[in-house]
A and B are shown apart, each in its own frame.
Chain A
Amino acid sequence: MAKDEFNEFKLVGTRPDRPDGLDKVTGRARYGADISAPGMLWGAVVRSPHAHARIVRIDTSRAEALDGVKAVVTRADFPEGLTGEDWNLQENTMAGERALYDGHAVAAVAATSKLIAEDAARLVEVEYEILPHVTDVDDAIRPDAPVIREGAADATVPEGSPPNVARYMEFGFGDVDAGFAEADLVMEKTYKTEATHQGYIEPHACLGQLGEDGKGDMWVCTQGQWFIRKMCTAVLGLETAQLRVTPSEIGGGFGGKTTIFMEPLSLALSRKAGGRPVKIVMSRSEVLRATGPTASASMDVKIGMKKDGAITAARAEFRMQGGAFPGAPVDMALYCAFAGYKLSAVQHIGYDVLANRPKCAAYRAPGSPMGAFAVESLVDEMCRELALDPIEVRQKNAVKTGDKASYGPKFGSIGLVEVLDAVKDHPNLAAPLGPNQGRGVAAGYWFNHNGETSVSMAISEDGTAQVSVGTPDIGGSRASIALMVAETLGISYDDVRVNVVETGALGVNEPTHGSRATFATGKAAVEATGHAIREMCRRAAREWGIDEEAVEWADGAAQPAGPNAGKFPPMTIKEIAGKMGGTGGPISGHHESVPDGVGASFGAHVVDIEVDPETGRVTILRYLVVQDAGRAIHPSYVEGQYQGGAAQGIGWALNEEYIYDDMGRLQNPIFLDYRVPVASDLPMIDTVIVEVPNPGHPYGVRGVGETGITPPLPAIANAIEAATGARLRDLPMNPPKVLAAIKAVKA
């Protein structure tokens, strides 16, 4: 629990009910698919059943002839000449000459009902010429692999590289060879992780309306309405400001709803159907086949360690496929891989490889869980070899504030040491373990992010406050922002309303991603509130006829700054607001910036498991998350991020994967066989919130949303070896693989 003893704040750190709770427990909250409009049509998308195929011909005549069909679009309805990421987005939104993965959109129809639209989609005839395909990353990087796209390599890729390598990176410092030479133990292993999906329970849904005049509106479940606006207008050749995007409540995103998929299709269909709004709601199989799972990775890691556990050198080569487009998070995976270790010599090499799979999107600390799986597993294997305690080895090598990071720059304020101390002292470490049971430990990291942020707040006539923010509220950020604004204004939490607004109401905001909402929007909200406070102090000063500098704000009122400023009773926010009409007009505050002072967050997890030796099934007995939050504004929702991250990591470690057949078709596109953890799979998840305040934020906030998913993959692998002696280096560690590994150890 948060350390409350020194909590000098009245509201920050408390656990009030979230403002949108009532709507969400009564079913009134409106998500993407809940929004309808007069004259609305329904859209359906025609998708390629092939992993790689040339599109010879699309015949939409039978579809267009079906009664009730109002519009059909193909790539011909999209502008040409786009380049770079804009072209990638357009190509992914609607296939051009070639279908690049199973599920790639090739056409879309709009009709007067969902059933007619689905029937019409089945009547669109597409002639394909099937091409050779590749889905595994180590196959895709071979020189003789089927070529996904000619000339895909960017300026960083060395000449003569395999054709599907789109990006290359290499960085590091120090003399790794010398470091390996002086080590007592050098170990090099290869680790593989399969692609997984964010798994949000709400499928993508949008309602798009676009007139012939190029003016449009969209209601959509998204993490970032400004990204949706920028990407849709780019892909359709519209002026950015002419499209207004209103975010609905969002049913989970985890990074997967920070980009576009079928949104531009609803706008294109609407324009062709005389401006009638078009609603498109994805099915679960469309979400799994054709949205943005994370990359799959093949990683070689080499570490040199002295007998006492000190690491002398480290090397990592990561190969990742992020679908048929550049964008696999291999750079971020490499940055995070050794981030927890103070190194004098390290080398990172990374390949971003194309394959016939959907265009990957961010998934909670994108890349970092894969890097952690490789490095934290290898460190555990070396501790086992040298009979060293895995926590102590991490403490010995732990980075502190001011140390040089493995990815180059010096660290600002970080709390890894405090996190590891909290793990060492936790009672879970003393829990007894029975037969076939084992304990695993691992640490994880995420930089967190700032990004463009724009917030406006205004004082109402009755002295209550409203805050307009651009970051959709997924995990309770409305409550955290309201707490910070109420604390700053000195008024009650219930007197602050936070609204998530559409793109017409604020300056540009980056999405709710990078664990930035409470940090960046919170900081901007506090700045904006400060702006309004200064205005209220000015109005009180004029009322009292004293100098502005002689007025300060405390406990929700303007007060004389000191004895010689004058004897005036405090002028409350209610009094000031009540007279706003006669003292200069509306009172509001604005703040726009790309905030500096981002605080990174380290975490460490401890997991106890039991393995059924006869079937290989892994049961999670106990799970502990310890993570640095800087300061927990609303501790319940910080704990929620810790528990949610752990649960997704457990699913990724044990049962979640993309299974493609030899024709390159996804075999498990529904929740029956895409196995996310269910309620009966998990124990209660213990959490400890470590608070090493981030000096870059007025309330010490660090982003907490993403680090939690990074330690589970290696922690569970380490626990399985502790329980069975079998070391698995290939995810997921499902029962068939665990049973085979146990039998190999026994043989």
Chain B
Amino acid sequence: MNYHTPASFEDAVQLASAASGTTRFLAGGTDVLVQMRAGMVIPDDLIDLKKIQGVKDITRTADGGWRIGIAVSGAEMGAHGALCADWPGVVEGMELVGSTQIQGRATLVGNLCNGSPAADGVPGLAAAGAAVTITGPGGTRDVAVADVPAGPGKTVLGKGEVISAITLPPRGASGGDAYLRFIPRTEMDIAVVGCAVNLTVDGDKISAARVSLGAVAPTVLLVEDAANAIIGTTLDDAALNALATAASAACNPINDKRGTVEFRTEVAGVLARRAAKIAYARARGE
């Protein structure tokens, strides 16, 4: 295995494009090293991105949103007061990934690129309308986070392409987001179901909303019907029931060692209801 530490994304892209065998990028490494240890993958070229300038930075974008470097760890996100104030849902999703020790290394981009349908960091980004900047042989392009996953373990990135940044839109006034997941224990499990809700309110009426689900389909889901079930409402019981029904209806889960189809379908509705209440409370500044 050849270990590379390129100084720029362009060098990284060049290395990846020229590589013949299996190539993996390395940021936090908390997925790649597990797969290496299990013998699932022994890369021929491992490209460590952490020496690239700016990968550790969390910066405001001109329009008031955020640009998060690809090597920023969950712990660093959690310690960033202003980012947490704007996007608590996005941050709490990332902070649920693994233990305190994992939080010291794991990154949002790594969580996204690993391609797991149950990734805890992804629903929050999808609900927030976040985007990623992809640098490749042909230059850079921006893609919505929701469009990056292409199935279990797969993304839309082509050969030689690497994600160079994640950008979050401006929070704007009276907005709130939240992420919840279900796991059988209180910590350390992969999500059996995950749900993120991002909404803005006008007084006590919801003016805009996005609802996304994790671990209930081959990729993260953005559920239009669920959002429409609460837009224009004050999140009363009828709206909450409609939201839960829409969320469960969108599920297309599998039976596996973590959960059954019925369980995931039902709990998706339960989490959507609970996450919406938290997002609504945050949007109203409670």
Contact = CB atoms under 8 A, between A and B. Distances in A.
Contacts of B260: 736
A272 interface: no
Contacts of A735: 182, 184, 192, 263
Interface in B187-209: 187-190, 192
B141 interface: no
A734 B263 CA distance: 11
Interface stretch (A189-197, A217-225, A370-378, A675-683): A675-683
Nearest to A122: B39
Nearest to A667: B257
B92 to A, nearest CB: 16
A673 B257 contact: yes
Interface residues of A, number: 27
A654 B258 CA distance: 13
Contact of B185 (A616, A670, A675): A675
A616 B37 CA distance: 34
B259 A736 contact: yes
Nearest to B192: A735
Contacts of B262: 736, 740
A670 B39 CA distance: 13
B147 interface: no
Contacts of B38: 285, 670
A636 interface: no
A534 interface: no
B189 A615 contact: no
Given A672-B189, A678-B186, A735-B192, 8 more contacts: A670-B38, A673-B257, A675-B185, A680-B187, A681-B187, A734-B184, A736-B259, A736-B260
A692 interface: no
A680 B192 CA distance: 18
A659 B185 contact: no
Given A673-B257, A673-B258, A681 B186 contact: yes
22 contacts: A285-B38, A615-B270, A654-B184, A655-B185, A667-B257, A668-B257, A672-B188, A672-B190, A673-B190, A675-B184, A677-B185, A678-B186, A678-B188, A680-B185, A681-B185, A681-B186, A681-B187, A734-B184, A735-B182, A736-B259, A736-B260, A740-B263
B184 A617 contact: yes
Interface string B241-275: 00000000000000011111011001100100000
Interface in A673-713: 673, 675, 677-678, 680-681
B182 A615 contact: yes
Judged by DSSP, the binding face of A is loop
Interface in A698-742: 734-736, 739-740
Interface in B6-47: 37-39
A62 B257 CA distance: 36
Given A668-B257, A735-B263, A739-B263, A655 B184 contact: yes
B37 to A, nearest CB: 8
A744 to B, nearest CB: 12
B101 to A, nearest CB: 13
Contacts of B258: 673
8 A-B pairs with least C-beta separation: A736-B263, A680-B186, A614-B270, A667-B257, A659-B257, A680-B187, A655-B184, A681-B186
Contacts of B263: 616, 735-736, 739-740
Contacts of B266: 739
B258 to A, nearest CB: 7
Given A614-B270, A615-B182, A655-B184, A675 B259 contact: no
A739 B261 CA distance: 13
**Interface of chain B: mostly helix, strand, loop or mixed:** loop
A461 to B, nearest CB: 49
Nearest to A657: B257
Interface in B119-154: none
Nearest to A669: B38
Contacts of B37: 283
Nearest to A283: B37
Contacts of B259: 736
Interface string A646-659: 00000000110001
Contact of A675 (B39, B182, B189): B189
Contacts of B186: 678, 680-681
Nearest to A660: B257
A673 B257 CA distance: 8
Nearest to B244: A614
A654 to B, nearest CB: 7
A45 to B, nearest CB: 13
Interface residues of B, number: 22
Nearest to B266: A739
A734 B256 CA distance: 14
B67 to A, nearest CB: 32
A680 B189 CA distance: 12
Nearest to B264: A736
Interface in A589-617: 614-617
A48 to B, nearest CB: 15
Interface string A112-137: 00000010001000000000000000
Nearest to A119: B42
Contacts of B39: 118, 122
Contact of A678 (B185, B190, B256, B257): B185
A506 B186 CA distance: 47
A215 to B, nearest CB: 36
Contacts of A671: 188
A678 B187 contact: yes
Interface in B171-190: 182, 184-190
A473 B188 CA distance: 30
Contacts of A655: 184-185
A677 B185 CA distance: 7
Contacts of A659: 257
Contacts of A667: 256-257
Contacts of A677: 185
A450 to B, nearest CB: 39
Nearest to B258: A673
A708 B30 CA distance: 36
Nearest to A735: B184
B255 to A, nearest CB: 10
Interface in A341-356: none
Nearest to A619: B186
A739 B193 CA distance: 15
Nearest to B1: A115
A208 B189 CA distance: 37
Contacts of B190: 672-673
B184 to A, nearest CB: 5
B76 to A, nearest CB: 22
A680 B187 CA distance: 7
Contacts of B267: 614-615, 739
B97 to A, nearest CB: 12
A719 to B, nearest CB: 17
A540 to B, nearest CB: 60
A734 B184 CA distance: 7
Nearest to A670: B38
A37 B55 CA distance: 43
A315 B196 CA distance: 52
Contacts of A673: 189-190, 257-258
Contacts of A118: 39
Nearest to B99: A678
A515 to B, nearest CB: 29
A472 B10 CA distance: 58
| Residue of A614, A655, A734 most packed against chain B (CB within 10 A) | A614
A673 B192 CA distance: 11
Contacts of B182: 615, 617, 735
A124 B192 CA distance: 37
B114 to A, nearest CB: 13
A740 B264 CA distance: 12
Contacts of B189: 672-673, 675
Contacts of A678: 185-188
Interface hub of A615, A675, A677, A681 (most chain B Cβ within 10 A)? A615
A670 B38 CA distance: 10
